[in-house]
Amino acid sequence: MNCQKFGHSTRACFAQAICQICAEEHNTSQHNCNICNTQGQICSHTILKCSNCGENHTANSNTCEFKTSIENKSTKYSQQKNQQTKQSSFSIVIDNDRQ
């Protein structure tokens, strides 16, 4: 929401604000169309630019290959961690009758 990079929370981000719409150095809420004066949103005059890959879509677009590759890596990592947890789990049997 601030720098448009993935892998950290907005609260922990102290980087320069980058617009999600045009990839320029301003908050998305401050994005302004010089033609129709629409502010903070996409209008028919907007030229989209992703700050992550440079393509013509917003930084949070599901069509962004950079975003989907990050999400796929994250999903694979989670699946591997779950698999490791399942493999390393064990149970302890306590026999209280044994003396």
The answer to whether residue 57 sits within a structural domain is yes
The answer to whether residue 21 sits within a structural domain is yes
The answer to whether residue 82 sits within a structural domain is yes
pTM: 0.65
User: Which residues are paired to 32 by β-bridges?
Assistant: 39
Amino acid identity of 52? N
Residue 82 has pLDDT above 70, yes or no: no
Rounded to the nearest integer, the mean pLDDT of the chain is 82
How many domains does the structure of the chain reveal? 1
Q: What distances in angstroms separate CA 51 from CA 31, 36, 94, one per listed residue?
A: 14, 23, 57
Q: Which domain holds residue 75?
A: 1-86
The answer to whether residue 95 sits within a structural domain is no
User: Which residues are paired to 39 by β-bridges?
Assistant: 32
The answer to whether residue 98 sits within a structural domain is no
The answer to whether residue 71 sits within a structural domain is yes
Mean pLDDT across the stretch 50-59? 94
